[in-house]
Amino acid sequence: MRARVEAFVTDFYRAWERTGKPPSASNIDQVVEAWRGEPAVLVGAHFTAGASTGEENVLKGSAAHDPSVETITAVEVETDRATVRSVSGGGSMPTYYEYRLVREGEQWKIRQLLSFLDPPGAPLVDPAEAEALLNSANLDAALPELPADVELDVAGLFAHGCQVAPFGEAVSLEVVQLGEVTFGSGALTVRDFGYGAFGLAPLARRLPGGTYRVEVSTAADTNVALRLLISEAPAVSWHPAEVSGDSHIIGVDAGNVAILDLATLVRCGAQQVEELFQEHSLKLSDGAGVVFSLTGEVNDAVMVMSGYGDGAYPCYWGVAEDGTIAALVVDFLVLDSDD
């Protein structure tokens, strides 16, 4: 299995030298077209059917795999499966790779290739930071009033079957039930799941622990809003759902918004979270969103495509007549009153 990985790294570098070096303005089309076929050849030689190198349609300033800078650090074998780990580059920004292999007859083939920014075993956050984050979410945190210039029509965002026109032509709103999520601690974080530990913080208001339904409103395959239903009671008022120490605006740079159980998330390893992001973000092209488990125990996470993609999206608490939290909504700003 070591020999298989070493052969792939060598062949990848030769392919990059041959066709994948950074293009100039005068030859970009030729370089892109030449590189397009190389990953398929590498997969055919070194991977199981249907696998991917992760570098398809990617052109980088240096080769992702180079035998002069990528070093194998660990090899683990269990019957017909094996894991080979390596690190590429030095300095402050190394890349850590994990090759998962299976035996096919007399040969080892790469079934999956993962890349990480953090080394194996690194926690997402250290225990002291995790405790501080959890303690910053409270059941009685104040709920700010909506700004005077904000007109929020959540009922309209989730009016299934309503005709809307965000793209000029009338289409029907569809409300898709994604399933249920269980938040044991009630401390939630709403964020771009691709951020890892960067800027990690909970919503200031903590929920009672429980299991809640989650749904997303869509129009012409574009997500309009995400809603976590805390109770069946209708919301009679809406308030900014502020992140502890920050505003209620959720920044996005990887085209997704996730609602996660913070208590479970901070127990995860950094590579575990990165792998979950890579795995579930691929599923977003096939549906409005996905509900999943951070640790394999219960579903405690939901991730959806964020409207038109990257941007900044407001998050709101809906409050029932008796003062309890009824819903949490992220508005992707696809619809306004004119739509």
> Residue 271 — very low, low, confident or very high, per pLDDT cuts 50/70/90?
very high
Residue 136: how many other CB atoms lie within 10 Å: 18
Fold of 2-116: Nuclear Transport Factor 2; Chain: A, (3.10.450)
Token pair for 270: 């950094």
The rounded Cα 70 to chain-centroid distance in angstroms is 27
Measure the CA angle with vertex 213, ends 247 and 328; round to 5°: 20
Closest among 114, 239, 221, 226 to 173, alpha carbons compared: 221
**Strand extents, DSSP E, the chain:** 70-78, 81-88, 95-104, 107-116, 163-164, 171-183, 188-191, 210-219, 222-229, 235-240, 249-252, 256-261, 289-292, 301-305, 311-320, 325-331
pLDDT surpassing 60 at residue 339: no
Q: What is the pLDDT of residues 176-228, one digit of tens each?
A: 999 999 999 999 999 999 999 999 999 999 999 999 999 999 999 999 999 99
Q: What mean pLDDT value characterizes the chain?
A: 92
CB contact at 8 A, 328 and 250: no
The structural domains of the chain, with segments of one domain joined by +, span: 2-116, 127-331
- Which has more pLDDT, 162 or 34? 162
Q: Which residue has the tokens 């240096």?
A: 62
Q: What is the average pLDDT across 76-102?
A: 92
- Contacts of residue 336, Cβ cutoff 8 Å, sequence gap at least 6: none
Percent of the chain with pLDDT over 90: 78
Token pair for 29: 């089309």
**Comparing 24-38, 162-176, 287-301, which segment has the lowest mean pLDDT?**
24-38
Measure the CA–CA gap between 281 and 290, rounded to whole angstroms: 9
- Contacts of residue 28, Cβ cutoff 8 Å, sequence gap at least 6: none
| Predicted pLDDT at 309 | 93
Q: What is the average pLDDT across 136-159?
A: 91
**Comparing 17-26, 56-65, 319-328, which segment has the lowest mean pLDDT?**
17-26
Beta partners for residue 100, in sequence order = 83, 112
